[in-house]
Amino acid sequence: MTAPRRIGTVDSKTRAKLLDAAEVVMVDEGYPAVTSRRLGQEVGVSSKLVHYYFRTMDELFAELFRRRAEEGFARFEQALAADTSLRTIWSFRDDGPGAIYHLELAALANHHKAIRQEMARYSERFRTMQLDAIEKVFAEQDALPLAVPAEVVLLVMTGVSQVMAIEQSLGITAGHDTTVRFFDELVVRFGTPGHDH
């Protein structure tokens, strides 16, 4: 019976460099360009060494997503600790390279069930964090002039930000500045505890 193949340690510098390189290549050229051979070239190691740290490319992509997601959770919690308001939740929207990164992950997930399941699990976790924050804001004040459920407010903000992110990745920006200003004013007016509206 052969011994199981050893996998590189989680805190390895080489492993971190491979993930960094994968993210850059994915944003610049799309997820199909992220191969063990390409990552080996970017980091200066053999493609075999890439599989020393990641058994499969799906495993690498899943870890890439988890790493960014956990960083996002930490930043969101820190931001909420400083200011629990709709403004904070609205500010956590994708734009620029971050939007392209998530679009590539979504395209990848469309063809890889394991990645899709991982994204869904983390997305539900983040949605719950956002919803809890909105409900806390609503509990502290009569946040909106109409009885709008917290879930609706969250989906509207999420939907608007995602549409703008997709359009920005295509070079379309018509109406974006006006929309951002509108929501900036709206969340301050109706979603900031202690704000007089």
DSSP state of 196: -
Domain with CATH 1.10.357.10 in the chain: 57-191
pLDDT single digits (tens) 127-156: 999 999 988 888 876 545 557 888 998 999
pLDDT single digits (tens) 63-120: 999 998 999 899 999 999 998 888 888 888 765 567 778 888 888 999 888 889 998 9
Q: pTM value? A: 0.76
**Token pair for residue 156?**
């509207």
CATH for 10-55 is 1.10.10.60
Strands (DSSP E) along 69-190, which ranges? none
Strands (DSSP E) along 37-188, which ranges? none
Domain with CATH 1.10.10.60 in the chain: 10-55
- The architecture in CATH of the region 57-191 reads Orthogonal Bundle (1.10)
pLDDT single digits (tens) 29-67: 999 999 999 999 999 999 999 999 999 999 999 999 999
